[in-house]
Amino acid sequence: MSLTEHVVEISDVYKTYHLGKVKVHALQGISFKIKREEYISIMGPSGSGKSTLFNAIGGLDIVDSGQIFIDQVDIAELDAYELAWLRNRKIGYIFQTFNLLLAFTAQENIETPMIFAGMPREERRKRSKELLTAVGLGDRMRNKPGQLSGGQQQRVAIARALANDPAIVLADEPTANLDLATGLEIIELLRKLNNERGTTIITATHDLKMISISDRIIWIRDGYVDRIEDRADVQVSSIE
């Protein structure tokens, strides 16, 4: 696949939830483009549509209308098998609640996406060890999620997201369940991955700590793009 400038392209996306008789217009015509190797924060108050947008970009949920291109492939046109491949190889996911497989050790959690990718066992062992070491948990490989702290679990989740070397890492409120210091560590780690591996990172967050390290911030309000700011502009406006 050729190296395209825009790794994610979203145009005019709508999504409405039906909660009984109430219609919730979560996304109302969202459009933006994300360049390769960018660090993007999608910010906005609770209920602004951040998580819906996160699910839409990641191909985790279907949208009502509009197009989402990942590496110039329209994900609406993918069949179930291709979507699974996309989630497996192209995109890594990080969640607020970590969503690790509780029955497995840290190492096995990281190996699961590799199993789905058909990687041989020896290679899996080696790679999962490397990834765990990279996130600073080389000595906790045999621990299950229940035996790890929140920050450590999130590190395992980050290592799992990187299992098949994805082009994009999507993070939904990755720091919301963590204390201030641990949250900062996770943000640092994400920034490091962005710098060292060139992984495009997209976080949906309302954690203002993200602002100082993001290349661009997309502000969402009531399902619309409120404004898109570069880092330099934001620092000024947030001081005001």
Partner 1 sequence: MSLDLPEPDFTIGEMLFLSFSNIRRRFFRSVITALGIILGIAFMVALLTSSFVLREMQAETGVEAYQFWLVGISLVVCFGGITNSMLMAVNERVKEIGVYKCIGGLDSHIVRLFIIEALLLGILGGSLGGLIGILFGIVINLNRFSIEEISLLIQDNILFFVILLVASVLVSMILSALATYVPARRAAGLSPAEALRYEN
Q: Which residues bind partner 1 (CB under 8 A)?
A: 55, 58, 60-62, 73-74, 77-78, 80-82, 84-89, 93, 95, 99-104, 108, 112-113, 115-118, 144, 160, 163-164
CA distances from 174 to 28, 73, 77, 147, 185 (A): 25, 27, 29, 19, 11
Query: 195-231: buried (b, 16+ CB within 10 Å) or exposed (e) per residue?
Result: eeeebbbbbbbbbeebbebbbbbbbbeebbbeeebee
Minimum CB distance to partner 1, residue 103 (Å): 4
State the nearest-atom distance from the C-beta of 153 to partner 1, in Å.
Answer: 13
Tell me how far apart the terminal alpha carbons of the chain are, to the nearest angstrom: 44
Whichever of 140 and 160 has its CB closer to partner 1, that residue is 160
- Comparison of 32 and 95: residue with beta carbon closer to partner 1: 95
In this structure, the number of other CB atoms found within 10 A of the CB of residue 193 comes to: 20
Smallest distance, Å, CB 61 to partner 1? 4
Looking at beta carbons only, is 135 or 234 nearer to partner 1?
Answer: 135
β-strand partners of 120: none
What tokens were used for 216?
């661009």
Nearer to partner 1, 163 or 234 (CB): 163
For the CB of residue 15, give the shortest distance to partner 1 in the complex, in Å. 11
